[in-house]
A and B are shown apart, each in its own frame.
Chain A
Amino acid sequence: MIDKNIDQLKRLKLRKNAEMRLKVYGILSISLALIMLATLMISIGLSGYSALQQAYVKLEINVDSKKILDEKGGFSNQKALLVNWDGIVSNSFITNFPEITKRSEKRSLRALMSSNAGYELRQYFQKNPDDLDENITIWLSASDDFDQYMKGRFNTSVDEKDRRLSNQQLKWIDFLAMEKISKLKFNTSFFVNADSREPESAGILGAVVGSTLTLTITILFALPLAVMASVYLEYFAKPGRLTDFIEVNINNLAAIPSIVFGLLGLSVFLGFFGLPRSAPLVGGLCLGLMTIPTIIIASRASIRAVPPSIKDAALALGASRMQAALHHVLPLAAPGILTGTIIGMAQALGETAPLLMIGMVAFIIETPDSFTSAATAMPVQIFMWSDSAERAFYERSSLAILFLVGFLIIMNSLAVFLRRKFEKKW
């Protein structure tokens, strides 16, 4: 047995207590962070889940094929342009209420259908021209206020004249819902459409594709440049004033407000090179410039963390510096470089400021199909929706945030997977 005097025991106890306290602090701070994260995700989830559904109205419609088909029996865009699709929709809709005859009442009844319902009908016949001349039953979008009321998100306690729906309109909606003429169904348009002025037709796909295209350019541009720069700085640059100057400035670049990169992109890529505005190509280059310093700093750290004995071994065998770097050091540094890249990319994914300057903060209704077509990005889409007056955009921006977070999780899991794959056992 080791002899312990009182003094030693006291100190031992103090030390144990201190250790205990530190442990408790650690657990507390981690739990606090987790609680905050959970609160955030739950509140966004609660306000966003309802956007997964959308109010649709069942209509019986019969459209004369002569008005739409050309001589060969194909769908004629020219003829379809002349058809009053909105009229067809509202006429069919009004038949649900034969008792209504007054013009003003008819107008407020028509307002319950989405102003894009006519377009949806046209799209349907474009896809299914065989259904012309037939009596068909089709579900078309209701207006966003209709939708919000059905989801219980419409505040009826407000004075009638300050509301977007009158008591009469609310009664009609109740009637339609009771008769199962209108229903909440899965909101496909959110997943297949780009932006729209009407919340019921607005979708996230355009922004997801825009972000994907932009980040593709970012990684293709930033990763090779940053890795080459860090290999040069670690292996070839002679230490001296110039190298110090470059190093200091790379660190400074990492701290520059991102909007400055947007200004740079505006003057260089748009002004000097004349690249198209709002294009993922330009957005990707701007975000790439912003990401390069982050990747350089991470890459240099992980290159430096490779034991110098590996480099020495390669050099002693007669490998050139380049061969030592490419064959031995870079593969070992790859996991670290990848982590840095993902951090940089995640930063770029959430960035809106540089995109502001090059016109990617814009209302774009087409899903982009190339690197030079007009596009927007996910954070921009969220920002624009949350800025809109319509209540129905509120739930859509929450759902879009969940999408953005999901995108990030996918990117991070990919990084973890690649890390595991490249990591070498020692």
Chain B
Amino acid sequence: MVDKKNNLKFKTKNVSVFYGSKQAINKISLDIEEKQITALIGPSGCGKSTFLRCLNRMNDVISNCSVNGKILLDGNNIYSDEIDPVLLRAKVGMVFQKPNPFPKSIFENIAYGPRIHGIGNNRAELTDLVHHSLEQAGLIDEVKDRLDDIATGLSGGQQQRICIARAIAVNPDVILMDEPCSALDPIATAKIEELMSSLSKSYTIIIVTHSMQQAGRVSQKTAFFHMGDLIEYGETPKIFTQPDQQKTQDYITGRFG
């Protein structure tokens, strides 16, 4: 029995990633708890995004990228041959830095995921699902009258929430967010942060962020990466107030990065 109140969702052991011969991250071992927000922080190029993309095997797309080590999702190694990356990505959704809705209608954007996974077979079910997803993403009041409008015509913040709703629609366990607010203004950012907190009741959220304030505001746990190494990992308040490592201290006080 684990002595914590939360179950572990992800368990990673000695994960190293290479782009060709260049090592991006070095032997990261990190456990991520269920239904919490975990923030990954660190200066640019420290490997936090690379690590995040390992968790749903989006690195497979990059041709010369190789991943060593073990990543367990609910106890199953996601890099084993039995796991299909396509099914994995339905379990572990992702939201990107720049809002990237498909240049289609709002409805089609949300309905695409369920459709390819065979969820919501008839129009009525699909409509329900779309509405429910938009509701969870806090967007329903803004767009319910124009579901057939093209999604790329919305504002940046709305587009990002469309992307979140789209990820929710396939009913994942985990949502990975790669700097979801870096292209947004403060008000849109506040909305997304609020949304993350409410979503964390049902989903495990892992967020990469450049903003330490954001990490401090939303996350329960924070991991600090530097030059491909995991320097420190712990409860967010502790990391931000009394970190164990000198490097963490230097970074959060703004001495470098």
A320 with B112, Cβ < 8 A, contacts A239-B63, A426-B152 known = no
Q: Determine if A312 and B63 form an interchain contact, defined as CB atoms under 8 angstroms apart.
A: no
- A328 contacts across to B, CB distance below 8 A: 102
Per-residue contact bits, chain B 140-169, to A (CB 8 Å; 1 contact, 0 not): 000000000010110000000001001100
Tell me how far the C-beta of A317 lies from the nearest C-beta in chain B, rounded to whole angstroms. 4
Measured between C-beta atoms, what is the minimum distance from B70 to chain A in Å? 22
6 cross-chain CB contacts under 8 A: A239-B64, A307-B100, A314-B102, A316-B89, A317-B166, A318-B87
**B90 at interface by CB-CB < 8 Å:** yes
- Contact mask for chain B residues 68-90; partner A; CB cutoff 8 A; 1 contact, 0 none: 00000000000000000011111
Q: Bits for B90-121, please: 1 = Cβ < 8 Å to A, else 0.
A: 10011010101111000000001100110000
The chain A residue with its CB closest to the CB of B150 is: A425
A323 at the interface (CB under 8 A from B): yes
In the complex, A315 Cα to B100 Cα: how many Å?
Answer: 12
Chain B hits for A332, CB < 8 A? 103
Using a CB–CB cutoff of 8 Å, the interface residues on chain A facing chain B are: 238-239, 307, 309-320, 323, 327-328, 332, 424-426
Q: State whether A318 and B113 are in contact (beta carbons under 8 Å apart), knowing that A312-B58, A312-B61 are contacts in the complex.
A: yes
Which A residues lie within 8 Å of B100 (CB)?
Answer: 307, 309-310, 312-313
Contacts of A239 in B (CB 8 A): 63-64
- How distant is the Cα of A314 from the Cα of B100 in the complex, in angstroms? 10
Q: Which residue of the partner chain A has the closest CB to B176?
A: A316
B58–A320 touching, CB < 8 Å: no
Chain B residue nearest in CB terms to A319: B116
Chain A binding surface SS class: helix
Smallest Cβ distance from A138 to chain B, in angstroms? 64
Other A-B pairs beyond A317-B112, A317-B166, A425-B152, 8, CB < 8 Å? A238-B63, A309-B96, A312-B100, A318-B87, A318-B89, A318-B113, A327-B112, A426-B152
Please indicate which of the listed interface residues B56, B61, B63, B90 has the most CB atoms of chain A within 10 Å of its own CB: B61
Contacts of A318 in B (CB 8 A): 86-90, 113, 116-117, 170
What chain B residues lie within 8 Å of A315 (beta carbons)? Answer: 58, 61, 89
State the CA gap A426–B159 with chains docked (Å). Answer: 12
Residues of B close to A238: CB separation below 8 A: 63
CB-CB contacts of B163-204 with A at 8 A, as 1s and 0s?
Answer: 100110010000000000000000000000000000000000
Q: Are B163 and A313 in contact (CB under 8 A)?
A: yes
Tally of contacts, chain A with chain B, CB under 8 A = 69
Q: For the complex, give the distance between the alpha carbons of A317 and B88 in Å.
A: 10
Assembled-state Cα–Cα distance A425/B154 (Å): 12
B155 to chain A, nearest CB (A): 14
Nearest chain A CB to B235 CB, angstrom units: 29
Residue count of chain B within 8 Å CB distance of chain A: 29
**In the assembled complex, how far is the CB of residue B60 from the closest CB belonging to chain A, in whole angstroms?**
9
Residue of A nearest to B117 (CB): A318
A424 CA to B100 CA, complexed, in Å: 14
Asked if A317 and B96 sit within 8 Å, CB to CB, the answer is no
- Evaluate contact between B103 and A317: CB separation under 8 angstroms: no
The 8 tightest CB contacts between A and B, nearest first, are: A318-B90, A309-B100, A316-B94, A317-B113, A424-B103, A318-B89, A313-B100, A318-B86
Name the residue in B63, B103, B112 with the highest tally of chain A Cβ atoms < 10 Å from its Cβ.
B103
- Contact A317-B89, Cβ < 8 Å, known A310-B100, A332-B103, A425-B150: yes
Inside 8 A of B116's CB, which chain A residues have their CB? 317-319, 323, 327
A359 CA / B150 CA spacing, docked (Å): 52
Q: Shortest CB–CB separation between residue B237 and chain A, in angstroms?
A: 31
CB-based contact B56/A316 at 8 Å: yes
Bound complex: CA of A299 vs CA of B88, how far in Å?
31
Chain A residues, Cβ within 8 Å of B150? 424-425
| CB atoms of B98 and A319 under 8 A apart | no
Contact of B102 among A313, A320, A425 (CB under 8 A): A313
Chain B's closest residue to A313 (CB) is: B100
CA distance A238 to B152 in the complex (A): 32
Kindly report which residue of chain A lies nearest to residue B109, judged by CB atoms: A313
List chain A residues, Cβ under 8 A from B87. Answer: 318
**Is the beta-carbon distance between B152 and A317 smaller than 8 angstroms?**
no
* Residues A309 and B98 in contact in the complex (CB < 8 Å), given A315-B61, A332-B103: yes
| Complex-state Cα separation, A238 to B112, whole angstroms | 28
Residues of B within 8 A of A426 (CB): 103, 152
A228 CB to closest chain B CB (Å) equals: 20
**How far does the alpha carbon of A419 sit from the alpha carbon of B171 in the complex, in Å?**
37
B84 to chain A, nearest CB (A): 9
Interface contact A313-B103, CB-CB below 8 Å? no
Q: How far is the CA of A332 from the CA of B103 in the complex (A)?
A: 9
CA distance A424 to B152 in the complex (A): 10
| Bound CA–CA A424/B112 (angstroms) | 18
A424 to B64 alpha-carbon distance, docked (Å): 32
- Assembled-state Cα–Cα distance A327/B109 (Å): 12
Hey, which chain B residues are within 8 Å of A309, CB to CB? 96, 98, 100
Q: Are B86 and A319 in contact (CB under 8 A)?
A: yes
**Distance A328 CA – B116 CA, assembled complex (angstroms):** 13
Interfacial chain A residues near B170, Cβ < 8 Å: 317-318
Chain B residues within an 8 Å CB radius of A313: 96, 100-102, 163, 166
Residues of A within 8 Å of B93, CB to CB, are 316-317
Q: Which residues of B contact A424 (CB under 8 A)?
A: 103, 150
Distance (whole angstroms) from the CB of B59 to the closest CB of chain A: 11
A310 with B102: CB separation less than 8 A: yes
Bound form: Cα–Cα A320–B63 in Å? 16
- Which residues of chain A come closer than 8 Å to B112, judged between CB atoms? 314, 317, 319, 327
CA distance A327 to B115 in the complex (A): 12
What is the distance, in angstroms, from A302's C-beta to the closest C-beta of chain B?
15
Bound-state Cα–Cα, A307 to B100, Å: 9
- Cα distance A323–B116 in the bound complex, in angstroms: 8
Which residues of A have CB within 8 Å of B61?
A: 311-312, 315
